[in-house]
A = this chain, B = another copy of it.
Amino acid sequence: MFQKETYIRRRQALKKKIKKGLILLPGNVEAPANYAANTYKFLQDSTFLYFFGLDIPGIVGLIDVEADTDCLYGDDFTIDQIIWTGPQPALRELGEKVGVIGNTYTLFELQSVILKAIKQGRKIHFLPPYRSHNKMQVKNLLGVSSRALENYVSVELIRAVVSLREIKEEEEIAEIEKACETGYRMHTTAMKLCRPGINEREIAGAIEGIALRKGWGLAFTSIVSEHGEILHNPHYTNRLKPGRLLLVDAGAATDRCYNSDFTRTMPVDGVFTQKQKDIYNIVLEANNNTFRLITPGVTYQSLHLEAAKVIATGLKELNLLKGSVDDIVQNGAYALFMPHGLGHQLGLDAHDMEDLGERYVGYNDKTERSSMFGLGSLRMGRELLPGHVLTVEPGIYFIPQLIQKWQKERINAAFINYDTVADYLDFGGIRLEDNALVLKKGCRMLGKKRIPITPDEVEETMRQEAEF
């Protein structure tokens, strides 16, 4: 955790933004995998962690805005438990570490405090729960039905939390940088291991091992696949075949739970073919160009469209697209090749604050989410502010099912040379992803060194031996 002043300051800022009522912030509990005692590795709720800093299961935070009190509810270990767990600090001591002085109580006491507040007609602010356990917990505490729960979610609290969490503080950026360093090691190791005949799983396991050695572990389930064109792909079942491209989308989470998120794509053989390089360099230019354009005040939606222009221009040169670049972009024809968004915010979550709702995190009154295929998948569209941390992740994919669908339905038929596209049906996909910090002017790429990204750099790294 950070120094207690950090959490005191954050809670003060939150209280200033919420007019009145109680703010209920339940932390996560252990999540059983295949029986109650065999739990997944504990991951704290990010918003609880942001305001209360304690990375321990089963604690609930409660802030009383009018009374200006920050309280923690949780149960101390008994002496019989301590025999098995070793000495454990009391909640009172834990609270002091995050600036909660005195206001610590047992979980049992929480219900009556909430009940009293409800009887007094006070508002209980809470965020949308995303785990079954927390849904039940909030539902039971508030005495509302499962169905009604989402109606009671506090949009005022969502907006307040987003406005704080979206601006990364210096110590948060330092953590993300740490996650980037581990990401560097993960991706260069993948490059060093990649070769025909190796299983995707060997590479996935090796880079996850690195993330686990350096911090909490993975930022998210890695994609390690010679089928980069499959965008949701958490499986590692292939033995890498010569001629394919391996796409690795993976990031690390530090022990303070901040994340990095990088993608690199490499030729299984260690050397790009000219055909691969042609597509690769378009994606690389879309990535680089975004970094040139990121600056406060521009919307990320407009930068998505700029990347689309780079891709449209490149694919036109390769005779895959036709017509004017502006028309291709305006009609969303490029989205056949890049159906996802340019990026998202990054922080305590890999998709930062996604649980709070992308309409509040990635969009606002000024920037509306598009309903177009492709652009509509963009998670972050709003204007950029200094302190935003973003992923920049353009890609070009040849997705047989999507190509087939469009061709059959004659979607954007005027812009697509399906004859040429047919030559790429077994190409796979390329994505190149880096992480950006928006500065007062322009932006900075996060990470000490950029992970090898030019075709030459990638090929050079692939020639090296992996170290333990």
Q: By the criterion CB–CB under 8 Å, are A399 and B83 in contact? A: yes
CB A226 to nearest CB in B, in angstroms, measures: 12
Per-residue CB contact flags for chain A residues 84-104 toward chain B (1 = under 8 Å, else 0) read: 111100000000000000000
Q: How far is the CA of A234 from the CA of B43 in the complex (A)?
A: 13
Q: How far is the CA of A57 from the CA of B281 in the complex (A)?
A: 38
> A205-B210, A401-B79, A468-B466 are contacts. A39–B221 as well, Cβ < 8 Å?
yes
One of B83, B339, B466 near A83 (C-beta < 8 A): B339
Q: How far is the CA of A401 from the CA of B88 in the complex (A)?
A: 11
Q: By the criterion CB–CB under 8 Å, are B351 and A405 in contact? A: no
CB A107 to nearest CB in B, in angstroms, measures: 16
With a cutoff of 8 Å between Cβ atoms, the chain B residues found around residue A211 in the complex are: 205
Q: By the criterion CB–CB under 8 Å, are A45 and B34 in contact? A: yes
Q: How far is the CA of A365 from the CA of B237 in the complex (A)?
A: 45
Q: By the criterion CB–CB under 8 Å, are A212 and B204 in contact? A: yes
Q: How far is the CA of A131 from the CA of B32 in the complex (A)?
A: 6
Q: By the criterion CB–CB under 8 Å, are B206 and A85 in contact? A: no
Q: Check if A349 is an interface residue, CB within 8 A of chain B.
A: yes
Q: How far is the CA of A82 from the CA of B404 in the complex (A)?
A: 12
CB A428 to nearest CB in B, in angstroms, measures: 11
Q: By the criterion CB–CB under 8 Å, are A133 and B132 in contact? A: yes
Q: By the criterion CB–CB under 8 Å, are B405 and A38 in contact? A: no
Can you offer 13 A-B residue contacts whose CB atoms are under 8 A?
A: A34-B46, A35-B130, A37-B351, A38-B351, A82-B401, A83-B399, A85-B230, A85-B231, A204-B213, A205-B212, A206-B209, A209-B210, A466-B468
